[in-house]
Chain A
Amino acid sequence: MAVIHDVMPSFGLYQPASVADALNLLDRHGRDAWILAGGLDSFDWLKDRIKRPKAVVDLSGISELQGIRESGDGLEIGAMTTLTEVVRHPAVRERYSLLLEAAEHAASPQIRNQGTIGGNVSQDTRCWYYRTGWFCYRAGGNICYADTPTAMNREHAILGADRCVAVNPSDTAPALIALDASMVVRSKSGERVVPAEEYFIGPGTDITRMTILQPGDLLTAIRIPGTWGGARFYFEKVRDRNVWDFALVSVASAMSDNGETIERVRIAVNGVAARPLRLRAVEDAVRGKARSEETAKLAGDLAIQGALPLQHNAYKVPLMRNLVKRAIRGAEGA
């Protein structure tokens, strides 16, 4: 346990003006580098003196990382675009209101003005043991303090836990998965474009990271294809407070139907596992079925298969089930 928090230690601050410069810096500093976007996750870590990077690479001066552009039949959103800009963009509003809703549910207006979409999807977990600086699995140790018989784990995982039971806190992540977005990741060695679903990783893959980003990697943009533009969307985030609160459970879905039958559907949830989960089994089961209460019930029941609650989070099982049901019913049936 640290004996002092809330005073940011000194570090080297680098403010590159181009992605190429940023990649050079990240390459040069390797594991000692820290990528700073909006700062809302970073400054907590830095002020608490828990993460002690030598070099902080501030992306705020790189104009090519900012803004929303038409790209093919879809959109490309620069990683440094603020959540407020995402919410206000006319194309997002017209064609991808799912993302608008998800972004609008993040944190508070002040935080959305500063927080970026790249930061929102790349942020670390908010597990209060880990964030206090306890030396847990995720911090490189060999215990999960949130998964003991007396642990306080109301906000923790019911699915996909592997030693660590932390959850992913991002609001936009499930929406991006539902929209079949892809993430543009660049490093000195080139560019990769990966499906949003694969951008996020669980503890079984790497217990110390929430995303595929390795030292030297930079998320530069998020691409949303035209496929789901104007589809039937559903987003819901259940939280204790109506603002400035992470999701207990959230759900995002995109669906096309012919009025009766579900033709295509993508559905994802967050707040239940270390990464946002795409619910493929649910998608497969409801495709071709009527958008009825019966189908909704089937979807809800399927969604929670395999859920393993901890001492204080069993409520997430019915909550996730009900949110998936509501996603199938659609906004008018909530």
Chain B
Amino acid sequence: MADKADNKLIGKNYTPPDHIAKVTGKAKWAEDFRADGMLFCKLLLSPMPHARVRKIDLRAALAMPGVKAILTADDLPKLDGPGAERALTNEPLYQGEPVLAVAAVDELTAAEAIERIDIDWEPLPFVVDPLESLRPNGPSARLEGNVWAPPAPRPAGATGAPPQPEIKTLKWTAEDFVEEAAGRLPMGKVLEEWSYGDLDAGFKEAALVLDETFVVNGSHHQTMESRSAMAYWQNGKLHIYCSTQSVVRTADNLSQWLGIPASDIVLVSEYTGGGFGSKGGGPISMTIPAVLSKKVNAPVMMRISREEEHYIGRVRTNMTGRVKIGFRKDGRITAMDLFIVQDNGSYGRWNDYAGAGNAASLMYQPLAMRWRGVSVFTNTFPKMQQRSPGPMQGNGIVEPVLTKAAKQLGLDQIEIHKINAPAGKAPFGPAVGPGGPNGKRPYVTSAFVKEALDRGAERFKWAERKAQAGQRRGSKVRGVGVAVGPHGSGSIGYDGIVTIRPDGKLYVQSGVGNLGTHSMVDLARVAADILAMPWERVEVIWGDTGKFLPWSCLSVGSQTTHAMTRANHAAAMDAKRKLLEIAAKDLGGSPDEYELGNARVYQRGNPGRGLSYAQAGARAIALGGKYDGHELPEDIHDFTKRSAKELAGLGLMGVAKDNYPRDGATWSFVAGFAEVEVDVETGKTTVIDYLAVGDVGTVINPRSLGGQLHGGSCLGIGHALFQKMVYDQHYGMPLAKRFHYNKPLTILDIPPTLDWDAVNLPDPETPVGARGTGEPPVGAGYCAVMNAIADAVGVDVFRRGPVTPDVILMSLEHGRRMHEPLKAHV
């Protein structure tokens, strides 16, 4: 385990090595790459929300000078699994879905060719609101059905592949929909549910029971860089320049999408202009230039325009949730019954609704809980995990009820959060398996939520601000809100490769993506600290699978910092052992008589008797075998083995799999504190102040942590205030396809004093103590602002986000909620 006293780099600010390229414009993004003879391609997009291609007439387009080839779905490899999305389709499931791609000498020619393509469409039934699809005679978004059913239980003793989830048809009865008239979510049959504890007893014991319905709107991921990609083939290998969150794991996905070995792919993504979950393992659209360039035998650049990015760039799942919660007088939750209808979009199987249930059970620790959910297909943009997928929406459904309960019970918002907060190895979700093998529920590695709430309350001057809340000044009234966002924040079991070369430098191979979080460099700081290496002599290799990278986690789900600090800890410890062994071999004695310091390995207490790292690196090459990577551990991934073999002989190699133990699931938490001012004559909300406090384990890189806390909070604040996605229900058409329609947050919508802090308490179940942090600030930001609005103007003013001026003004004007209670995409 790391000796904290030796940490020279962890916990310190630094300038990551990619910054200068970014600010000087030298950084090359996917669409900056060029290759000799490169063609451009453009996409033909479906004009209908659901249709089938009967016939395509390409003759006029192919006859145009400059048009080189046209790719259709028939040219793409088939993919396994029910409902799998491919980059092109003959049965578009949403308006804007790419149907074919034209390669031409320039984009103008390609666009004009597309307008000359004649497609005979067969329109098919469509639906954009999940509840409409559940009606007795409601349309189904897909021909196979309208909902996901979980995998069938595996019969005892069965062998072969485990059962897969299936697409089925589920319709509710007219009677189920009676509730709708009262603005409450109907609760018909679901195919998935779990529970623990005695729900009835919990509600019986409660002093207050609330039953509320809340709509959480999905919205686009809105990355600054669209998912452009350029590809060509050389010597049987695919070279692809793309925009992705992960690097190694994108090459891995791409190999499956194309049906070629990952070793035949050279994937370059050194800089990524944001992903937020939408480019997790790489966008499937990159298969278009990959296959098209093979077909046309020339490099193909596919630049994705902003409008196209709105179609294929992914969206958060929206949910309509209904929750019944029982509270004791002191605010403790005795029972929670959570029911979620999730809009799954057109493709994929998104588990946000399950994540929302797990997160609610963790975040509020109800003594008894039931979760039920159904995930419904709609003919809307494909969804994907968006920064805190599930927990954020879970927050959004439960937090307003918590705030309402606090008001009714005369409790402070922070107190009601604290009395329900998880602590230590807090349990969550249902017992594993049917009834649980031993009836034991899973639990987290650690939680310091109360500490985060206390620290934040003091720093935010909560008591002072609270005293001012609710007082009207002119047309303005202020309110304060607090919320805690949870999210899973770390995986285990990946590999690290480091080499100490005869040039005296430490090279750290980083296989994760550079999506703006700096974790792809932070992980090297751990190795440098263990090896007592000055940062100036550390080279981080990233962004190109041609540079031999280790098997790494997907750069998603806030896992990277946790997973890859562990992997690099393991690799660095391996290198350290080898340094000590080489020193002992050359200078006598046993390895434990040696230590590391200032890029040297030397006899304990006698720095003069030792080897420089340059010398040790050269000795490792001379010794060969395990010392320079010619012999590798058995348990590392094949991908790592391939890379390590290529790097063998360059110096002393530390290479290892993260085999460190972990007891529990790793989750992080962020407490958000907001003060808002609402103008009751216009309904407009202004965020006056905001603070995010992280319980994210040991702080690795303070400045970057601040950036993550701010960025995540801002996404949540945008969700609370105005960011949205809108569909015309009748025509099944998306309307908010421009920034000025869907309204992502701007710099002028946040307070200049946006603040952050962290409890900086190490997680006991990982050697470096660090957990991830990208996601939990989102739910905190979303709900702290909404709770503050409720504090200012009333807990019954809104039951959906975003809380736009029209929602507030109409409720205040009429003394009751006037907004659409259940519909998605309004």
Known: A3-B44, A315-B810. Contact between A334 and B475, CB under 8 A? yes
* B42 at the A interface (CB under 8 A): yes
Q: Which residue of A lies closest to B107 (CB)?
A: A7
Residue pair A9, B740 in contact (C-beta under 8 Å): no
Q: Are B735 and A315 in contact (CB under 8 A)?
A: no
Q: Is the CB of B749 within 8 A of A132?
A: no
Complexed CA–CA distance, A261 and B112 (Å): 64
Decide if B806 is an interface residue (CB 8 Å cutoff): yes
5 A–B pairs (Cβ distance < 8 Å), ordered by A: A3-B117, A4-B45, A7-B107, A126-B740, A315-B805
Q: Residue B683 at the A interface, CB < 8 A?
A: yes
Residue of A48, A238, A326 contacting most chain B CB atoms (<10 Å): A238
B215 to chain A, nearest CB (A): 14
- The residue on B at minimum CB distance from A48 is B307
Q: Give every chain B residue within 8 A of A49 (Cβ-Cβ).
A: 111, 115
How distant is the Cα of A4 from the Cα of B117 in the complex, in angstroms?
A: 11
Residues of B within 8 A of A326 (CB): 681
Asked if A260 is at the interface of the complex by the 8 Å CB criterion, the answer is no
Q: Are B47 and A3 in contact (CB under 8 A)?
A: yes
Q: Is the C-beta of B206 less than 8 angstroms from some C-beta in chain A?
A: no
Also in contact, A243 and B746, with CB within 8 A (given A4-B45, A7-B111): yes
- Complex Cα distance, B350 from A95, in Å, reads 59
Contact between chains at A4 and B44 (CB < 8 Å) = yes
A5–B112 CA distance with the chains assembled, in angstroms: 11
> Is the CB of B43 closer than 8 A to any CB of chain A?
yes
B114–A4 touching, CB < 8 Å: yes
A253 at the interface (CB under 8 A from B): no
* Also in contact, A241 and B108, with CB within 8 A (given A4-B44, A154-B806, A318-B809): no
Contact indicator A9/B112 (Cβ below 8 Å): yes
CB proximity of A106 to chain B, nearest CB, Å: 12
| Cα distance A2–B684 in the bound complex, in angstroms | 36
Q: Which of B47, B475, B804, B807 contacts A1 (CB 8 A)?
A: B47
Q: Is A135 an interface residue (CB 8 A)?
A: no
Known: A4-B44, A7-B108. Is A240-B743 also a contact (CB below 8 A)? Answer: yes
Pairs A-B, 4 closest by C-beta atoms: A1-B47, A6-B305, A315-B806, A7-B111
Segment of B272-280, B510-518, B722-730 engaged in the interface with chain A: B722-730
Q: Is A314 an interface residue (CB 8 A)?
A: yes
* A132, B737: Cβ atoms closer than 8 Å: yes
Interface residues in B, total, Cβ within 8 A: 61
Tell me whether B813 and A244 are in contact (CB under 8 A): no
Closest Cβ–Cβ distance, residue B93 to chain A (whole Å): 16
CA distance A1 to B115 in the complex (A): 12
Q: Is the CB of B42 within 8 A of A334?
A: no
- Tell me the complex Cα distance, A238–B683, Å: 9
Expressed in whole angstroms, the Cα–Cα distance for A44 and B307 within the complex equals: 11
Question: Are A152 and B726 touching (Cβ within 8 A)?
Answer: yes
Q: Is A13 an interface residue (CB 8 A)?
A: no
Task: Give the contacting residue for A145; candidates B110, B683, B731, B813; CB below 8 A.
Answer: B731
- Of B308, B474, B683, B813, which is within 8 A of A6 by CB? B308
Which residue of the partner chain, among A2, A5, A238, contacts B805 with CB atoms under 8 Å? A238
Q: Which of A240, A244, A316 contacts B739 (CB 8 A)?
A: A244
- CB contacts (< 8 Å) of A7 on chain B: these are 42, 107-108, 110-111, 305
Judge whether A151 and B307 touch: CB under 8 Å: no
Query: Within A1-47, which residues are at the interface with B (CB < 8 Å)?
Result: 1-10, 44
**Known contacts A7-B42, A148-B730, A152-B726; A1 and B749 CB within 8 A of each other:** no
Q: How many angstroms between the C-alpha atoms of A49 and B112 in the bound complex?
A: 10
Does A137 sit at the interface, judged by CB under 8 A? no
Q: With contacts A3-B114, A132-B733 known, is A242 near B746, CB below 8 A?
A: yes
Interface size on A, residues (CB 8 A): 46
Given A9-B111, A10-B108, A322-B682, also A152-B728 (CB < 8 A): yes
* B:762-806 near A, CB below 8 Å: 804-806
B728 touches A145 (CB 8 A): yes
Confirm or deny: B23 has a beta carbon within 8 angstroms of a beta carbon on chain A.
Answer: no
CA distance A83 to B686 in the complex (A): 26
Chain A proximity mask over B702-746: 1 for CB below 8 Å, otherwise 0: 000000000000000000011000111111010111111101011
Nearest B residue to A322, CB-CB: B681
A4 neighbours in B (Cβ, 8 Å): 42-45, 111, 114-115
| Sample of 6 further A-B pairs with CB below 8 A, known A129-B735, A150-B729, A314-B810 | A1-B95, A3-B117, A6-B305, A9-B112, A126-B740, A242-B749
A312 vs B805: C-alpha distance when bound (angstroms): 12
Chain A residues near B (Cβ < 8 Å): 1-10, 44, 48-49, 108, 126, 128-129, 132, 145, 148, 150-152, 154, 238, 240-246, 248, 312-316, 318-319, 322-323, 325-326, 333-334
**Given A6-B306, A128-B736, A322-B681, are A240 and B809 also a contact pair (CB < 8 Å)?**
no
B554 at the interface (CB under 8 A from A): no
Q: Is the interface of B mostly helix, strand, loop or mixed?
A: mixed
Are B741 and A6 neighbours in the complex by a CB distance under 8 Å?
no
Q: What are the residues of chain B within 8 A of A315 when measuring CB–CB?
A: 683, 805-807, 809-810, 813
Interface of A is mostly: loop
The verdict on B748 contacting chain A, using a C-beta distance below 8 Å, is yes
Closest chain B CB from A5 CB (angstroms) = 5
Task: List B contacts of A3 (CB < 8 A).
Answer: 44-47, 99, 114-115, 117, 119
CB distance from B823 to the nearest CB of A (A): 10
B44 x A240 contact (CB < 8 A): no
- Least CB separation from A315: chain B residue: B806
With both chains docked as a complex, state the minimum distance between the C-beta of A124 and any C-beta of chain B, in angstroms: 14
Distance from B107 Cβ to chain A, minimum over Cβ atoms (Å): 6
A145–B728 alpha-carbon span in the complex (Å): 9
Measured between beta carbons, the chain A residues less than 8 angstroms from B747 are 243
| Assembly CA distance A285 to B738 (angstroms) | 41
Query: When the two chains form their complex, are residues A6 and B307 in contact, meaning their CB atoms are under 8 A apart?
Result: yes
Distance of B124 from chain A, by nearest CB (Å): 16
Contacts of B423 in A (CB 8 A): none
User: Which A residues lie within 8 Å of B741 (CB)?
Assistant: 128
Residues on A with C-beta less than 8 A from B308 are 5-6
CB distance from B614 to the nearest CB of A (A): 51
Interface pair A1/B728, CB less than 8 Å apart: no
- A150 x B740 contact (CB < 8 A): no
**Whole-angstrom distance between the alpha carbons of A129 and B728 in the complex?**
9
**Is B48 located at the chain interface by the 8 A CB criterion?**
yes
Evaluate contact between B728 and A151: CB separation under 8 angstroms.
yes
Asked whether B818 is an interface residue with its Cβ less than 8 Å from the other chain, the reply is: yes
Residues of the A chain whose Cβ atoms lie less than 8 Å from the Cβ of B45: 3-5
**B20 sits at the interface (CB 8 A):** no
Interface contact B682-A323, CB-CB below 8 Å: yes
Q: How near does chain B come to A10, taking the closest CB pair, in angstroms?
A: 7
Closest to B809 in A: A315
Contact indicator A240/B722 (Cβ below 8 Å): yes
> Is residue B174 contacting chain A, with contact meaning CB distance below 8 A?
no
> Is B260 located at the chain interface by the 8 A CB criterion?
no
- Is residue B210 contacting chain A, with contact meaning CB distance below 8 A? no
| Alpha-carbon gap, A7 to B36, bound state (A) | 23
Interface residues of B in 81-140 (CB under 8 A from A): 95, 99, 107-108, 110-112, 114-115, 117, 119
Q: Residues of B contacting A2 with CB < 8 Å? A: 47
In the assembled complex, the Cα of A39 lies from the Cα of B305 at a distance in Å of 18
Question: Complex: how many Å from CA A243 to CA B739?
Answer: 12
B826 CB within 8 Å of chain A: yes
Most buried by B among A4, A242, A248, A334: A4
CA distance A313 to B819 in the complex (A): 10
Q: Which of A6, A128, A314, A333 touches B735 (beta carbons < 8 Å)? A: A128
Bound together, the chains give a CA A132 to CA B741 distance in angstroms of 12
Task: Find out whether the CB atom of B740 lies under 8 angstroms from the CB atom of A244.
Answer: yes
In the complex, what residue of chain A is closest to B475 when comparing beta carbons?
A334
